């Protein structure tokens, strides 16, 4: 996944602003099978409760909303300075 504002690749560990001004950290990239230390159990092929799998996109841990999954590039995700 790439940032829509500058075209750079989103990487695990990046500090980001989502939904305008909510600070967060990219903790998982499901397509690349990468995550921050401590989140390894999120990289699973098991089906989630209610169906579906986390096998694409990124997971952002935010201070305001908790965990937010983005399956597609989103203009609301920008790298925090």
pLDDT tens across 17-61, in order?
A: 998 889 999 999 998 999 999 999 888 777 766 766 677 889 999
**CB contact set of 18 (below 8 Å; sequence gap of 6+):** 24, 60, 62, 65, 68, 70, 74, 76, 77
Residue 63 clears pLDDT 70, i.e. is over it: yes
Residue 72 clears pLDDT 90, i.e. is over it: no
Instruction: Tell me how far CA of residue 74 lies from CA of 3, 4, 54, 67, 70, in angstroms.
Output: 8, 7, 17, 16, 7
Rounded to an integer, what distance in angstroms lies between the CA atom of residue 23 and that of residue 55?
A: 24
Beta strands in 1-81 (DSSP E): 15-18, 22-29, 34-35, 58-62, 66-70, 78-79
Q: What is this structure's pTM?
A: 0.88
Q: What is the mean pLDDT of the chain?
A: 88
């Amino acid at each position: 996944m790439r940032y829509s504002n500058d075209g750079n690749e989103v990487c695990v560990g990046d500090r980001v602003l989502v939904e305008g001004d909510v600070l967060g950290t990219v903790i998982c990239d499901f397509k690349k099978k990468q995550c921050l230390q401590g989140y390894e159990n999120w990289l699973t092929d098991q089906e989630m409760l209610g169906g579906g799998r986390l096998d694409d996109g990124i997971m952002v841990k935010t201070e305001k909303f908790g965990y937010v999954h983005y399956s597609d590039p989103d203009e609301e995700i920008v790298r925090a300075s």
